[in-house]
Structure 1
Amino acid sequence: MSKNLFAKKRTFTTSSLVKISILSVLSFLMMFIQTPLMFFPEFLKLDVADVPAVIGGFALGPLAGVVIQLVKNLLHFAFKTSTGGVGELANFMIGSTFVLVSSAIYHLNKTKKNAVIGCIVATFAMALVGGITNYYILIPFYSRFYPIEAIVAMSSAVNKYIVDLNTLIIYGIVPFNIIKGSVISIITIALYKRVRILIRK
């Protein structure tokens, strides 16, 4: 039988749907726990809401992890949104990148080494997608309410290397996502073996 990482037969059983639902709600709740970081503008705050999706991707497959990301952002859009869904779309794209890359690599060979490699590659993939998403989607959207110059000035106040939109992406968005991906990776690797037992029961 061919091993298909995205096989619906393995992902969407009743048991898996229950687990996906629980992880989605947990991920949604974790979105409200945010921490500002030094040297980064105020609108960039660290959260670890992607961890349940990554764990779900490791345990149930990449597609399950993406579904968790989707449900998380749909819930956030329904209960608390001020961006007309643009923020949720960007969050889904960036978070799903991490989940897809990390869990796909892990499922090639389910070892701790592959989990670490998957998280490392996923961190840089998320940083790349985060930069592109902010450049073409998020920042243009916010510029409708705040001039790009104001956003750059806010960022420059905490990081002197940010002087325009391009440097905001290079010295703000990309490093922030690398830090976020690293934190998510550390927590996932630390928790996965313990949580995996509960998920697979």
Structure 2
Amino acid sequence: MKITNRLHQIWIFIFLVASGFTLQAQEKFTISNHKILIEGTSNIHDWEMDVEKVNGFIEMKTENDEITISNMSLTIPVKSMKSGKGKMDSNTYEALKEKKNPNITFSFLETTKVEKTGNSTYKIDIKGKLTIAGNTQSVVIPIVIDTQKTNLTASYNLNMTDFGVDPPTAVFGTIKTGDAVSLNFNLNYTK
């Protein structure tokens, strides 16, 4: 009886120690620096907007040349998107229904593909929920993570109408924005 009880205690101890190592290996990183560029077209000229503010984190671990992502979140305040042209900015905020939906968000669901592409680089397809103007779509975004440079890059194309956004217009409708938009991310992360 004492031996069985002792074995039980040993197994519990091994389980707790192993769980502790697993939890320690998973690390949470905060987005510390960023360059996000939104690009689109119109019937007059191409346009772009810089994102001045972003909040986010990524939880991941790297072990034995493998990477595992367990969570990721990104929030972009709509009013942090700037083109350098006040009227274009206000038209964009109105089209994105900023008063009711002040943020664009991405929340992680799962990784669908992981490929090691270099000594410290990984190409990963991230599935998540992207919410724009109050409309949420499930998307898969290809990202590249460089664990040595603590850097994440991504480029993703979408149509505004897929999220219930009417492409902005100006000058009584004579200037019309194209439906397709390209989102380009360059994010640095730290512990």
TM-score (norm. length: structure 1): 0.36
Higher helix share: 1
Task: State the structure with more CA Rg.
Answer: 2
TM-score (norm. length: structure 2): 0.37
Higher strand share: 2
